Amino acid sequence: MNKIKRTKSGAVFTTARRKRVIFRCLMLLLPVLHFVLFWGVPHVLSIAYAFQYNRVGEDMFYHREWSTIQFQFVWQELTKPSGNQLLPALLYSCFYFFVGNMISLPATLLLSYFLYKKIFMYKVYRVIFFLPSIISAVVLSILFRNFFDPVSGSIVPLSQLFGASSVPNFIGNPATKHWAVLTFTLWTGFGTNLLLFNSAMARVPAEVMESTQLDGVGMTRELCQFIIPLIWPTLSSVLLLSLSGFFGFVQPILLLEQETVGGNRFSEAASIGYYIYYYMTTRKELLSALGLCFTVLSVPIVFFCRWGLNKISEASEY
Burial (CB count within 10 angstroms: exposed 0-12, middle 13-18, buried 19+), residue 50 = buried
Q: What phi and psi values does residue 65 have, to the nearest 5 degrees?
A: -125, 155
Q: Are residues 152 and 202 in the same domain?
A: yes
Quick one: 44 and 193 in the same domain? Answer: no
Task: Please state, in angstroms and rounded to a whole number, the distance separating the CA atoms of residues 114 and 135.
Answer: 24
Separation of alpha carbons 34 and 21, rounded Å: 20
Does one domain contain both 166 and 95? yes
As a whole number of angstroms, the distance between CA 93 and CA 100 comes to 10
Number of domains in the chain: 2
Whether the Cβ atoms of residue 215 and residue 154 lie closer than 8 Å to each other: no
- Where residue 100 sits, what CATH number does that domain have? 1.10.3720.10
Task: Give 157-196 pLDDT, tens digit per residue.
Answer: 888 888 777 888 888 888 899 999 999 999 888 888 888 9
pLDDT level of residue 248 (50, 70, 90 thresholds): confident
pLDDT of 28 > 80? The answer is yes
Size (the chain), residues: 318
Q: Which of 206-210, 235-239, 249-253, 313-317 has the lowest mean pLDDT?
A: 313-317
Q: Tell me whether residue 64 is in a domain.
A: no
Residue 69 falls inside a structural domain:
no
- Pair (259, 301) in one structural domain: yes
**Lowest-confidence pick of 55-64, 130-139, 231-240:** 55-64
Q: Are 92 and 42 in the same domain?
A: no
68 domain residue, yes or no: no
Q: Which residue segment(s) compose the domain that 19 sits in?
A: 2-50
Same domain? For 45 and 91 the reply is: no
pLDDT at 258: 63
What is residue 259's predicted lDDT score, i.e. its pLDDT? 52
- pLDDT score, position 218: 87
Using DSSP, state whether 53 is helix, strand or coil. strand
Same domain? 42 vs 86? no
Question: Are the beta carbons of 240 and 302 closer than 8 angstroms?
Answer: yes
pLDDT range class, residue 4, cuts 50, 70, 90: very low
Backbone angles phi, psi at 104, to 5 degrees: -75, -40
Q: In the predicted model, is pLDDT for residue 91 greater than 90?
A: yes
| 67-70-76 Cα angle (round to 5) | 140
Residues 6+ apart with CB under 8 A from 165: none
Domain membership of residue 166 (yes or no) is yes
pLDDT (0 to 100) of residue 151? 84
Q: Which is more confident, 265 or 145?
A: 145
Residues 35-83: pLDDT tens digits? 999 999 998 988 998 998 887 767 766 777 888 888 998 898 888 887 7
Q: Which of 213, 20, 203, 3 is nearest to 116 (CA)?
A: 203
Domain match, 113 and 253 both: yes
Tell whether 17 and 121 lie within a shared domain: no
If we measure between CA atoms, which residue out of 255, 245, 208, 228 comes closest to residue 108? 228
Helices (H), the chain: 2-35, 41-50, 69-79, 86-116, 122-134, 137-147, 155-161, 177-188, 190-202, 206-214, 219-222, 228-230, 232-244, 251-256, 272-278, 284-312
Quick one: 223 and 94 in the same domain?
yes
Return the number of other C-beta atoms located less than 10 Å from residue 61's C-beta.
9
Residue-level pLDDT at 264: 62
134 and 9 inside one domain? no
Note whether 25 and 106 are same-domain residues: no
Q: Between helices 284-312 and 69-79, what is the axis angle to 10°? A: 70
> Is residue 116 one of the residues assigned to a domain?
yes
Exposure string (b/e) for 114-131, b if CB count within 10 Å is 16 or more?
A: ebbeeeeeeeeebeebee
Q: What is the pLDDT of residues 267-298, one digit of tens each?
A: 888 899 999 988 888 888 899 999 999 999 88
Name the percent of the chain lying above pLDDT 70. Answer: 90
Mean residue pLDDT of the chain comes to 85
With respect to residue 303, please indicate whether it lies within any of the assigned structural domains.
yes
**What's the pLDDT band for 213 if we cut at 50, 70, 90?**
confident
SS3 assignment, position 65: strand
Greatest extent of the chain over all pairs of C-alpha atoms, in Å: 103
**Any domain includes 56:** no
Average pLDDT score over residue span 195-208: 89
Evaluate whether residue 55 is within a structural domain.
Answer: no
